[in-house]
Structure 1
């Protein structure tokens, strides 16, 4: 792990390999450790940087307004990288899209796994699924909240917890407990969003885009992948990966790595 001062915050990242740079941006229920299977695989051909977004993992959260997409470009500046491919999962995918919209000259390609998109509204179906699978949890009980979020996102509505590797569930819950603390701290800070939001601007993206999702993820995620593929000129939509939930790169690393290595060339 390395720490670096970016826009007034100390951010943590891992940096492996050499070659064309690739920045990995984690899900909102995780931190940079979710990319543990991608780092060595991609580092054989690329310089791979896995960042803890501000407030998450080992990165700090000063009490000052900021934008995650500014931090990503600040990292590129600090490392002397004119451009990088961005790989994002879930919330990290939303940050990657925002970065490409705000700084189009700095992003060479986007690879999006189970991505969120800034400004998207979840469907009533998703809200109903949450009530069915999780229900009410005590927001002060991070362990119970993390267990509920992992049941919803990592296991998914079409699987049972016993269908999923228990080690994956334990690791996801451990990451999510830390992420929930980060989200609470972030709620007290002014996090600057794109205006208008990315969901209204997908057609502005003019770069290679790869998008896919886990077949066991909540249906809204697959629909978002379909929308990106429909609205981004030339985007490549891979089929949903069977027996994979929201943390697809962590759960099915061989398939994710093969797709990334092919896409990144």
Structure 2
């Protein structure tokens, strides 16, 4: 692990390999450790950079206003990278997409797994499912909230907990507890969003775009993946990966790695 000053915040990151640069951006319920299955595989061909977003994992959270997509470019600047492919899962996919729209000349390709899109809202179906599985947990009760969020995201709406690798559930729960503490701290800081948001700008994604989801992820996200791939001029939709939910790269690294090695420039 290394740390580097990015826009007046010390961001933690891992780095391995050489070749064309690739940045892996973690989910909002996780940290950079979720890419443990991708880092060694991609490093055989690429310079792979895996940061903790500001406030998450081992990265700092100064009180000054910021935008996650500005931090991604700040990280590239600090590491002397002119252009990179961005790979994002979940919230990390949203950050990656926003970065590609805000700084199109800096992004060579975009790969998105289970990615929401800025400017969209969840369906009533998803809201009801959230109420059933997570409910109104005390935001400072990280254990109870993490248990509900792991049930919602990592197990997914179409599986039972006993259908899922218990080590995956344990690791996801550990990461999510840390992420919940990060989100609580982030709520006290001004975080800028992309303006205008991405949902009506998908046609501006001129770079190659790869989009994938787990077959057991939320229907909202599978529909969004269809839309991104259809509207991005060079969009490619991967078939849904069976027996996988929201943290697809962590749960099923082999098909994700194969797709990425085939796709990345």
TM-score tier by shorter-chain length is over 0.9
Aligned length: 265
| Structure 2 counterpart SS, 1:105 | helix
Q: Give yes or no for contact 1:25–1:88 (8 Å, CA) kept in 2.
A: yes
| Structure 2 counterpart SS, 1:10 | strand
5+ residue gaps, structure 1, are: none
User: Counterpart in 2 of 1:168?
Assistant: 168
User: Counterpart in 2 of 1:99?
Assistant: 99
How far off is 1:249 after superposition? 0.3
Query: RMSD value over aligned CA atoms?
Result: 0.7
| Structure 2 counterpart SS, 1:99 | helix
Aligned mates of 2:134, 2:10 — CA distance in 1: 35
How far off is 1:63 after superposition? 0.2
Aligned mates of 2:172, 2:203 — CA distance in 1: 33
Aligned mates of 1:135, 1:103 — CA distance in 2: 37
Aligned mates of 1:210, 1:113 — CA distance in 2: 8
Give yes or no for the alignment of 1:84 onto 2:96: no
| Structure 2 counterpart SS, 1:94 | helix
Q: Give yes or no for contact 2:133–2:149 (8 Å, CA) kept in 1.
A: no
Alignment of 1:65-214 (within 5 A): 65-214=65-214
Q: Give yes or no for contact 1:133–1:157 (8 Å, CA) kept in 2.
A: no
Q: Give yes or no for contact 2:14–2:49 (8 Å, CA) kept in 1.
A: yes
How far off is 1:195 after superposition? 1.0
| Structure 2 counterpart SS, 1:22 | strand
Q: Give the TM-score taking structure 1 as reference length.
A: 0.99
User: Counterpart in 1 of 2:26?
Assistant: 26
Aligned mates of 1:186, 1:77 — CA distance in 2: 24
Q: Give yes or no for contact 2:32–2:57 (8 Å, CA) kept in 1.
A: yes
5+ residue gaps, structure 2, are: none
User: Counterpart in 1 of 2:216?
Assistant: 216
User: Counterpart in 1 of 2:239?
Assistant: 239
Aligned mates of 1:125, 1:157 — CA distance in 2: 11
Aligned mates of 1:105, 1:250 — CA distance in 2: 29
How far off is 1:183 after superposition? 0.5
Question: Per-residue CA shift, 1:48-91, capped at 9, x if unaligned?
Answer: 00010000000000000001111100111111110000000000
Aligned mates of 1:94, 1:256 — CA distance in 2: 18
Deviant stretches of 4+, over 2 Å: 132-136
How far off is 1:136 after superposition? 2.6
How far off is 1:132 after superposition? 2.3
Aligned mates of 1:185, 1:49 — CA distance in 2: 25
How far off is 1:131 after superposition? 1.8
Aligned mates of 1:240, 1:246 — CA distance in 2: 11
Aligned mates of 1:71, 1:134 — CA distance in 2: 31
| Structure 2 counterpart SS, 1:56 | coil
User: Counterpart in 2 of 1:41?
Assistant: 41
